[in-house]
Amino acid sequence: MSEITQKIYRPSRTVGQVYARPYGSAMLPLPIGNVLELKLEHDEDVQTQEDMTVLGGGNHSEVRRVKTVKLTMKIADLNVTNLARAVLGTVADVVGGTIADEPQVCTLGGLIRLAHIQPTAVTLKKGATASVAMEVTAANYEVRPEGIFIKTDAVGVTNADKLWVSYTYGAYAAIEALTTKAPELELTFGGLNEADSGKPTVVDIYRVSQGVTKSLALIDKGFGSLDVSGSVLQDMTKTGVGVSRYYKTSVA
């Protein structure tokens, strides 16, 4: 036996990178960012046979079989890819552009939610049609990332006035939630053992069906994160005696 397989001292406190790619893809796995927790959980089906030959009971025989393997992650980086996977969403890359005379209706003290976010070079006009509309003084509204807020004490505009908004906007990503099936991923954990001189522990998880995040905190006192879980499924492309179809751990 090698020195590595005979080693007894191996306390564990691992950190490291998690990489992912779509299952079956030929692309290189990409890092997903800071992962605060990564766990594999095994759920067993335990069947026992009572020992009826003696007083006092006990078990005569026992069979254990793994029913499911579950993966859980707490993801700290809410980038577009992680967020889209966690909400079963589709992503659209919106190219920046210019909008001329977007029609809106005035409500004093209300938000005009524009078709695009982060408007700049805003012009607001009031009138029955765009061609005859007159510009509203900028002191009567506030430009915000989510749109145009009409001040309660705005002068020259009233409720139900027809408004026309012209503006420019930059590129952004739009994620439409719950529009696709759960992604199947291949994961690699490049772990480093802080409790054992930084020695590597690499775990390849061949096929994970990732579920939707348990919650999506929009306002929170602490840092946001995505708590996701999924089932580790069989990868039927893995064959051979002693070869796992679920995952493999390599340690040095």
Write out the residue range of the structural domain in which residue 80 sits: 6-90+178-251
Q: Are residues 143 and 34 in the same domain?
A: no
* Residue 40 burial class via C-beta count within 10 angstroms: exposed 0-12, middle 13-18, buried 19 and up: middle
Q: How many structural domains compose the chain?
A: 2
- Same domain? 50 vs 160: no
Task: Mark whether 205 and 151 lie in a shared domain.
Answer: no
Residues 165 and 222 in one domain: no
Residues 204 and 84 in one domain: yes
Q: Is residue 166 part of a domain?
A: yes
Q: What is the mean pLDDT of each run of 10 residues along the chain (252 residues)?
A: 77 96 96 97 95 92 94 97 97 97 97 97 96 96 97 95 98 97 97 94 97 94 95 96 96 91
Q: Would you state the pLDDT for residue 1?
A: 55
**Segment 171-183, tens digit of pLDDT:** 999 999 999 999 9
**Separation between Cα atoms, residue 152 and residue 158, nearest integer Å:** 10
Model pLDDT, residue 3: 76
Domain identity same for 156 and 192: no
Q: Does residue 223 sit in the same domain as residue 199?
A: yes
Helix/strand/coil for 212? coil
C-alpha distances out from residue 250 to 33, 110, 124, 237, Å: 22, 58, 62, 19
Reported as a single tens digit per residue, the pLDDT across 150-164 is 999 999 999 999 999
Burial class (CB in 10 A: 0-12, 13-18, 19+), 65: exposed
Same domain for 114 and 62? no
**What does the block give as tokens for 48?**
């026992």
**Residues 85, 140: one domain?**
no
Write down which residue in 124, 146, 170 finishes a domain. Answer: 170
What is the per-residue pLDDT for 73?
A: 97
Residue 83 belongs to some domain of the structure: yes
Q: In this structure, is residue 1 part of a structural domain?
A: no
Q: Are residues 108 and 155 in the same domain?
A: yes
Dig out the tokens for 19 from the structure. 């990489």
Distance CA 41, CA 123 (A): 56
The last residue of a domain, from among 112, 137, 170: 170
